[in-house]
Amino acid sequence: MNTYLRILSYARPFSKFAPIYILYAFLSIVFGLLNFTLLKPLFDVIFEQVAPESLEKYRTLPELGLTVDYFTSLFYHQFLNVQDLYGKMGTLVFVCIIIVISVFLSNLFTYLSGVVLAKVRAVVIKGMRMDIFEKVSQLHIGYFSNERKGDLMSKMTNDVQEVENSIVQSLRVVFREPATIILYFAVLFFMSVKLTLFTILIIPISGAIIGGITKRLKRRAVQSQESLGRIVNILEETLGGMRVVKAFNAENFIRGKFDSETEYYSQVNVNMARKNELASPISQFLGVSVVAGILVYGGSLVLSGESSLGASDFITYIIIFTQVLNPAKEISRAASSIQRGIASAERIFQVIDTHAKISSPTTPKPLNAFNTSIDFKNVSFAYEDQNVLQNITFSLEKGKTIALVGPSGGGKSTLADLVPRFYDPTQGQILLDGTDLKEFSTSDLRSLMGIVTQESILFNDTVFNNIAFGIEGATESQVIEAAKIANAHDFISQLEKGYLTNIGDRGSKLSGGQRQRLSIARAVLKNPPILILDEATSALDSESELLVQEALTKLMNNRTTLVIAHRLSTIQHADEILVIEKGKIVQRGTHSQLMASEGLYQKLSSIQAV
């Protein structure tokens, strides 16, 4: 119930939708009920199921009052007047016209209430989608290392869609159908208290049976959505790694993995369908059984004269009661659907409720510029129980370049990720101009930094938009100038549409060197005072590396740079080189100083020189 109410909270303020919806729904129910209440006078007057002398009391206009008797007497009074004027055939036509008008109005207000609910549905789903997207975009980098990307995508798409299809679509049932049942039963109570009490005692039995079926659906719904997440994950990995799949002849392996998961998904959904489809026929069977019971019990009361109902009253009663079965059936169907929606909503709220380990302080210190240095003081970091960095201390002064070198897995990239606060140290401090990074807002801190990584992160968009990514109001001349500095303008100009060329998914239409130069152009356009370069040339061929290195040299000019280098030849002019091994600084100094002393740096340099 709490999950359901939380979903509905996205429709706030309720005052914007609730009053008008209640009005439309109420009028729809009233006019729908009117169609059937007209049957009783039709039987009584036109088909003479009641003696004419019994109707004489309605000849006199009743005294004004807000009672059911007043409106009943008034209706019969007008009914008899129409009969006197137009005869029985004219009255029959009159009643049919009223029924047609009533049906039209009932359907009109049903339509209008549906439009209001459509607006509620749109507001709820938009709010939920924005919440989960905003949360995912704010979560720390480490969160995505532990979660399957496909499962996250499934939560943001399939689970939200399931909530829309089941819970939000069921709002009409949840609010309208109970009101319909209540109003219909009010009329039934007015017609016969004894017979209606009998029906109320029978109906909960069918409700209990259907409730037992729907409770079992939630667990299966969770399994279904989790399986769908794994399917999306397999698809995402396969499409992204198709080159590797084909290179290793792994098509059969991937196909078997996909087949196994889809088979499990099919079995879970068939199991759900068995229970889901069972609810409707059971509710219909039980509903008809109740009607049959009423016919036997009520018919015996009418035949024996123990009931105040006449034959026409009893027939009208049965017809009205059968109309209660449809909303009851809708409620039972919605109950099973809601279980699936709640299971999906709980998966969504798991993400929304995830605590962001990296967040800005409530009152961050202002940060407009970088003035002196970035200082690491006894910094240590661990992924859960695995120590990655231990007691790191150094200073990166403004305008200087510090290079990080060492064996793979030593912690170089993790150390660089601490500067823009992708992670926070588990021990120690990182200071910017003497202030702990945690005291600044993450957006202000990252606005001072440009990052170029080994993997060029590009988007399925134009060259222009990829270079201008995240920079509002970038002009064409600024983008072109940035591309020239990054040695990218020449190849961009040769593309079919130049800067307006779409580069495909992750820049798939470009070579590795071209993608990297676009990433550098993006950093140039941002013009940050601090640069973080994470093995930006390690995956390139010699020609591309030369062009990219030249672009990086231009980018690094007069900037503070922290660079992770795989090829030692690219960082020989760094102001200081830190040699990182197993999370510790094992050597430090300039290139010439490190080459002059025996150690890991000299060993790595000699290996690369071979």
The more confident residue out of 562 and 51 is 562
Find how far residue 356's CA is from the centre of its chain.
18
- Flag whether 267 is in a domain: yes
Domain limit, last residue, from 323, 352, 381: 352
Give yes or no: residues 393 and 276 share one domain. Answer: no
Q: Is residue 364 part of a domain?
A: no
CB-CB contact of 563 with 403 (8 Å): yes
* Radius of gyration (C-alpha) of the chain in whole angstroms: 37
Query: 382: domain range?
Result: 373-609
Give the whole-angstrom CA distance, residue 573 versus residue 59: 111
Specify if 446 maps to a domain: yes
Q: Which residues lie below 8 Å from residue 302, measured CB to CB, with a gap of 6+?
A: 309, 310, 311, 314
Q: Among 151-155, 212-216, 506-510, which stretch is predicted with the lowest mean pLDDT?
A: 212-216
Token digits of residue 519: 């990433």
Query: Do residue 71 and residue 154 come from a single domain?
Result: yes
Answer whether residue 358 is part of any domain.
Answer: no
Q: Name the residue type at position 588.
A: R
Tell me: do 425 and 531 sit in the same domain: yes
Q: Does 359 reside within a domain? A: no
Q: At what angle do helices 171-191 and 18-37 cross, to 10 degrees?
A: 40
* Digit-coded pLDDT (tens) for 420-440: 998 899 999 999 999 999 999
Does residue 399 sit in helix, strand or coil?
coil
If asked whether residues 210 and 310 sit together in one domain, one would say yes
Q: Has residue 283 got a pLDDT over 80?
A: no
Whether 200 and 333 share a structural domain: yes
Which helix (DSSP H) or strand (DSSP E) does residue 408 occupy?
A: none
- Please report whether residue 362 resides in a domain: no
Is 337:166 a contact under the CB 8 Å cutoff? yes
**Confidence band for 199, pLDDT divided at 50, 70 and 90:** confident
- Tell me: pLDDT of 210 over 60: no
Domain at 504, CATH number: 3.40.50.300
226 and 319 in a single domain? The answer is: yes
- Does 178 share its domain with 276? yes
Residue 344, token pair as written in the block:
């999906």
In b/e form, how buried is each residue of 332-353, taking b as 16+ CB within 10 angstroms? bbbbbbbbbbbbbbbbbbebee
Q: Specify whether 72 is located in the same domain as 177.
A: yes
**What average pLDDT score do residues 8-36 get?**
81
Residue 377 and residue 344 share a domain: no
- 224-233, 260-269, 504-513, 527-536, range with the lowest pLDDT: 224-233
pLDDT tens, 238-281?
A: 776 676 676 667 778 888 888 888 888 888 878 777 766 666 67
Among the candidates 283, 317, 352, a domain finishes at: 352
- pLDDT above 70 as % of the chain: 81
pLDDT at 431: 94
134 and 231 co-located in one domain: yes
Is residue 318 domain-shared with residue 414, that is, in the same domain? no
Q: Which pLDDT band holds residue 526 (cuts at 50, 70, 90)?
A: confident
Residue where one domain finishes, among candidates 352, 386, 407: 352
Total Cβ atoms within 10 A of residue 354: 15
Q: What is the CATH number of the domain that holds 232?
A: 1.20.1560.10
Reported as a pLDDT band with limits 50, 70 and 90, residue 541 is low
Output the pLDDT for position 95: 75
pLDDT tens per residue across span 91-131: 777 777 877 888 888 889 888 988 888 888 888 888 888 88
Residue 103 lies in a domain: yes
Report the residue count for the chain.
610
**Are 322 and 378 in a shared domain?**
no
Tell me the pairing of strands 386-397 and 435-436: unpaired
In a domain, 162, yes or no: yes
The token duo for 93 is 């036509």
Cβ distance 565 to 405 under 8 Å?
yes
Q: What is the pLDDT of residue 432?
A: 94
What pLDDT, in 10s, does the model give residues 42-95? Answer: 556 555 555 566 666 667 777 776 555 666 677 767 777 777 777 777 777 777
Q: How many domains does the chain have?
A: 2
Whole-angstrom distance, CA of residue 328 vs CA of residue 204: 11
Is the CB of residue 192 less than 8 Å from the CB of residue 309? yes
